[in-house]
Copies of this chain bind each other. A is one copy, B any other.
Amino acid sequence: MIEQRDASMIKQVVAIGGGLIGSGWAARYLLHGINVTVYDPDPKTAETVANSMAAAERAWRQLTLAPPAARGHLSVVHTEVEFFAALKTADWVQESLPEREELKQKVLKQIEPHLADTTIIASSTSGLLPSRLQSVLKQPQRFCVAHPFTPVYLLPLVEICGGDATSEDSKQRAAAFYRTIGMLPLVLKKEIDGFIADRLMEALWREALWLVHDDIASTSEIDDAIRLGCGLRWAFMGPFLTYRLGGGEGGMRHFMQQFAPTLQLPWTKLMDTPEMDETLVDKIVAQSDAQAAGKSIGELMHWRDDCLVALMRSLAGADIGDTGVGAALAVSEQYRYTHAHPPTLNSDSAIAAPLCLHQTQVPAAWIDYNGHTTESRYLQVFGDCTDALLHTIGVDSDYIASGSSYYTVETHLRHLAQSYQGDILHCDTQLLAADEKRLHIFHTLRREQTIVATAEHLLLHVSNERAAPASAAILTRVKAIAAAHADLATPTGAGRHISIHSQS
């Protein structure tokens, strides 16, 4: 058993090669407080590493809310003298040279005399065999492959692959070490060219090259064929779990039976396939069952949909750039806004009561560490309720594009009950007051009859970033609602201020 303590004793890494991979490693190590010496004769190395570090800091600032920790110390060296000196005190060596076996072997041979006996040498190779790389070492048991994925400072996967001479202890030490820097090591049972991930990616890549070569599709069409379909699934399920669900209630066995004949069809250039005999089917079914860990197809489908929804919402975000998903969603949303059944504001009676313009269901992603809907999601729901009201009074995409909109300037929230995953929340909206530039509104959010939260908002109308009266058409609708709501009772909780002393 390797202790966590062991792995966390790595304080000093020498990174050989400061290109895209080497500098990505350096950034990940530095962020986790590990000192790094990068050796690369290229005079631009310091700049490359600084760029990686800036990108890594930027990404991690957004990825986690945990406070930044003290960084490791970085040295960039260009000469062999400095390099060899650094190796003497290294706890770990990360080799990220170009993918040429003889080059890697030459450098491995060169560095070994300078290393302490316990120092592990990990190679970032994408597919060269560790047995061949380590063959030049006097102590080959300390060598293994640790293959990362770009951006190295962000993606969690690292493949650990030993050669014939690698000790089990070295592989376990490597796995434990990479875990301490936020990675998820996949330790290979057997050595193979290209390891696991790259074999899968290479098969797809070679097929993609044929499609371009044969003018079946352009690079952009191929990228769309991946990212708008299977890519969204592959972000959280690999092919086996995907196909387990593709088999419906019959699961993996049904899928394999249904699609075994298509393995003989020329649906890819890769026509050399294993025979889908009973042994292979049974093996895959057993492994897939173990992987599902007792979860039913229905449960897995719900989970899949939750993940897809979370991903699609993330990628549809306004300014995240063109991910495709946003465009598709916009069409459906336009349809829904145009064909929404109630509410309509065509009749006076429809607006005499508080408006019920929005409802939503609490998704898994909204749940916090206490098991309840997280605080900020309520404001998101209330923001959506406000958007629904604005849409109702005529603030549509054309109006916004013309430079006018309402902005929220002040908000008062009361949290009165918890809500949980799957709850359906619906909202009543009351207009408390309005003038040419301002709306004072009150939302009441309920789960069935229980009031979960309320929000009181003051909105200011702006045109070209300055306070200004709303358009005549909008004010007409605002006045109609204000008149209809004039006789409604002021809701409980309106007009409150915060105090530690109870309010009457």
Contacts and interface: CB of A to CB of B under 8 A. Distances in A.
Contact of A267 (B20, B193, B377): B193
Interface in A262-321: 262-263, 265-270, 272-274, 276, 280, 283-284, 287-288, 290-291, 301-315, 317-321
B317 A364 contact: yes
User: In the complex, which of the residues A66, A194, A434 has the most CB atoms of chain B within 10 Å of its own CB atom?
Assistant: A66
A154 B421 CA distance: 20
A328 interface: yes
A495 B495 contact: no
Nearest to A340: B67
A349 interface: no
A212 B272 contact: no
A225 B238 contact: yes
Interface string A354-397: 00011011011111111100111111101110011000000001
Measured as residues with beta carbon below 8 angstroms from the partner, the interface class of chain A is 35 or more
A337 B70 CA distance: 11
A68 interface: yes
A248 interface: yes
Interface string A58-98: 11111111111110000000000000000000000000001
A310 B305 contact: no
Nearest to A196: B225
Interface in A156-185: 156-157, 159, 179-184
A102 to B, nearest CB: 12
A237 B212 contact: no
B340 A68 contact: yes
A225 B200 contact: yes
Contacts of A451: none
Contacts of A238: 208, 219, 222-227, 231
A38 interface: no
Contacts of A201: 204, 230, 239
B157 A229 contact: yes
A236 B225 contact: no
| Chain A to chain B: the 10 pairs with minimum beta-carbon distance, closest first | A223-B238, A194-B267, A231-B234, A182-B332, A157-B229, A376-B380, A66-B336, A69-B339, A226-B238, A156-B328
B184 A224 contact: yes
A219 B435 CA distance: 63
Contact of A331 (B180, B240, B377): B180
B327 A184 contact: yes
A432 B500 CA distance: 9
B363 A62 contact: yes
Given A188-B216, A312-B63, A365-B320, A227 B237 contact: yes
A311 B194 CA distance: 27
Contact of A62 (B215, B331, B361): B361
Contact of A259 (B99, B233, B241, B258): B99
Nearest to A261: B99
Contacts of A384: 65
Contacts of A407: 370, 415
26 contacts: A63-B312, A63-B329, A64-B333, A67-B358, A98-B258, A126-B267, A155-B228, A186-B225, A189-B217, A203-B268, A205-B243, A210-B274, A212-B284, A218-B290, A223-B291, A226-B238, A226-B239, A227-B234, A227-B238, A310-B314, A317-B365, A375-B380, A376-B380, A376-B382, A379-B413, A458-B499
